[in-house]
């Protein structure tokens, strides 16, 4: 069985941010004021930094000790968004909405969310692939 657990970008269910485009517009209008939580020193953090840099956004990325702390920061209004793992955030399903899922196909767990490629297309950005990351050294394997 092939289990996938891609990144998901969440906001609270009652947030006025109703799409990734709305988030980007708000981040551009309020540089340095929007805060997004991630698990520190993780693929989530690396992805968040790539994403906001690629879009030219000044968004504060807060690294938390773990996924539970990062999710709690969102639910307690400490941050406006959270980048976590699709399956790992299912416990928040009724409390959050997804702005995108970082996968090639939509997630059955977050059906409202477009794929990352669809969310980035209006901004002229194509998500990196494993092949392109290796070619640029972004995901280089250790040399022996």
pLDDT tens by residue, 2-25: 547 899 999 999 999 999 999 999
- In percent, the amount of the chain with pLDDT more than 70 equals 88
pLDDT for 137 beyond 90: no
The 10s digit of each residue's pLDDT in 72-125 is: 999 999 999 999 999 999 999 999 999 999 999 999 999 999 999 999 999 999
Q: Token pair 């004021």 is at which residue?
A: 33
Q: Is 98 helix (H, G, I), strand (E, B) or coil?
A: strand
Distance CA 46, CA 59 (A): 14
Q: What is the pTM of this model?
A: 0.89
Q: How confident is the model at residue 136 (pLDDT cuts 50, 70, 90)?
A: very low
Domains of the chain in start order, with CATH, are 7-136 (3.40.190.10)
The confidence score (pLDDT) of residue 135 equals 47
Q: How confident is the model at residue 44 (pLDDT cuts 50, 70, 90)?
A: very high
Distance CA 81, CA 90 (A): 15
């Amino acid at each position: 069985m092939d289990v996938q657990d891609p990144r998901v970008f969440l906001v609270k269910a009652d947030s006025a941010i109703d799409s990734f485009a709305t988030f980007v517009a708000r981040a551009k209008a309020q540089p340095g004021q929007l805060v997004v939580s991630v698990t520190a020193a993780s693929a989530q953090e690396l992805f968040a930094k790539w994403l906001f840099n690629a879009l030219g956004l000044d968004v504060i990325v807060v690294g938390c000790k773990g996924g539970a702390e990062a999710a709690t920061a969102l639910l307690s209004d400490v941050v406006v968004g959270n980048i976590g793992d699709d399956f790992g955030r299912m416990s928040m399903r009724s409390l959050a909405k997804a702005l995108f899922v970082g996968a090639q196909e939509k997630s059955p767990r977050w059906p409202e969310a477009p794929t990352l490629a669809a969310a980035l297309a209006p901004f002229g950005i194509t998500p990196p692939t494993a092949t392109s990351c290796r070619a640029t050294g972004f995901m280089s394997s250790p040399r022996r």
